[in-house]
Amino acid sequence: MGSVITDQEFQLLRDYIEKHCGISLDRNKMYLVESRLNTLMIENGCDNYNALYRKASADTTNGLRDKIIDAMTTNETLWFRDNGPYQSLKELLSTLADEIRSGKRQKIRIWSAACSTGQEPYSIAVTVLESGQAGSGLRPEQVEIIATDISSTALFMAKLARYDAIAINRGLPPDIRDRYFKSEGRVWALSDRVKRMVTLKKMNLQESFSPIGKCDIVFCRNVLIYFSEQFKKDIFSRLAGLLRPSGHLFIGASESLSTYSNEYTMVRNSHGIYYKVK
Ligand SMILES: C[S@@+](CC[C@H](N)C(=O)[O-])C[C@H]1O[C@@H](n2cnc3c(N)ncnc32)[C@H](O)[C@@H]1O
């Protein structure tokens, strides 16, 4: 049974969503709130969106809040998304591996800051393994990959690391698939050696980044587009503080940093653009 969202209900839920996960919704996204929250409204015995809002606001367990956030996040992702960042990553890893060899550093820390169902951090892990095999000498235990997301469902899928044919075919070269996945009937299961390299945690980007610790490389891709200008600025500034000197930041192909922060320099190479903290 469908229900039409009113202007006032939309405003209440829009503010609630932005407060709890930073996703900023224009009036032209009324249909999105209506369609994505419709099932939750029915499941929770609510007659309209106002009742759903009131129930979520009164729920001290935050269970309904998490379900609303889950429904409102877009978890679209794929393997080696846009390719270029992973080519650049490979080059950075080889430089960082030299620094490990020369004793200048011990470990490399990489954060996938909105990891969705796992394709991004696992693509990073595979890039590390491939880089080691291609001669960088990098060993998996020398690289720590932390992957976080706000969506419990996306994280559950990431932890499962079993992908159906549609998901597996999105961006994953067949030779990489055959090296790192095992076919199990209708799904492809990621090998334990790749899974082991990634630590998955639930985290809201509105929260302090200090539990993550200092990082050399951050992938914060295709998530900032959902946030307000103010929140983007805040995230870029906090990421600059989290990155080690000369640390690197990868954002989405359609995202830009220049108007939000002067704490980074742009690196442009044949694979595309990424940023280096000053
Ligand atoms: C479109 S996906 C991008 C996934 C991946 N980074 C990529 O580029 O393929 C956006 C992800 O951001 C997550 N997200 C949205 N708001 C967030 C927040 N406030 N904190 C952490 N993650 C958030 C969503 O749950 C979703 O999984």
User: Locate tokens 């009742």: which residue?
Assistant: 51
Nearest CA to ligand 1 atom 7: 77
pLDDT digits (tens, 9 = 90+) for 110-149: 999 999 999 999 999 999 999 999 999 999 999 999 999 9
- Give residue 10's pLDDT: 98
CB atoms within 10 A of CB 139: 12
Residues composing the chain = 278
Nearest CA to ligand 1 atom 9: 77
The reply to whether domains 7-72 and 84-277 share a CATH topology is: no
Q: Among 120, 150, 202, 219, which residue has the most ligand 1 atoms within 8 Å of its CB, making it the best to mutate?
A: 150
Pocket around ligand 1 at a 6 A CB cut-off: 21-23, 73-77, 81, 114, 116, 120, 149-151, 154, 204-206, 221-223, 226, 252
* Residue 276 β-bridge partners: 248, 265
Tell the burial category of 126 from Cβ atoms under 10 Å away from its Cβ (0-12, 13-18, 19+).
Answer: buried
Percentage of the chain beyond pLDDT 90 is 98
- Give residue 27's pLDDT: 95
Mean pLDDT lowest among 1-10, 27-36, 242-251: 1-10
Burial 13-50 (b: 16+ CB within 10 A, else e): bbebbbebbbbbbeeebbebbbebbbebbeeeebeebb
**CA–CA distance, 138 with 203 (Å, rounded to integer):** 28
Reply yes or no on whether the pLDDT at 188 is more than 60: yes
* Cα distances (Å, whole numbers) of residue 116 to 74, 98, 275: 9, 31, 22
**Residue 224, helix vs strand vs coil:** helix
Nearest CA to ligand 1 atom 16: 21
- Give residue 258's pLDDT: 85
Assign 175 a pLDDT band (cuts: 50, 70, 90).
very high
Reply yes or no on whether the pLDDT at 1 is more than 60: no
- pLDDT, the chain, mean: 97
What is the distance in A from the centroid of ligand 1 to the CA of 201? 13
Reply yes or no on whether the pLDDT at 226 is more than 60: yes
Overall pTM > 0.75: yes
CATH of 84-277, one of 3.30.420.40, 3.30.1280.10, 3.40.50.150, 3.60.20.10: 3.40.50.150
User: Locate tokens 């209900």: which residue?
Assistant: 9
What is the distance in A from the centroid of ligand 1 to the CA of 274? 19
- Give residue 3's pLDDT: 77
* Domain spans in the chain, listed from the N-terminal domain onward: 7-72, 84-277
What CATH class is the domain 7-72?
mainly alpha
Q: Please report the atom of ligand 1 found closest to the CA of residue 154.
A: 27
Reply yes or no on whether the pLDDT at 2 is more than 80: no
What is the distance in A from the centroid of ligand 1 to the CA of 224? 8
pLDDT digits (tens, 9 = 90+) for 228-240: 999 999 999 999 9
C-beta contacts of 14-17 below 8 A and 24+ residues apart: 16/53, 16/56, 16/57, 16/68, 17/68, 17/69, 17/72
Q: Please report the atom of ligand 1 found closest to the CA of residue 23.
A: 16
**CA–CA distance, 52 with 17 (Å, rounded to integer):** 13
Comparison of pLDDT for 202 and 1, the residue scoring more: 202
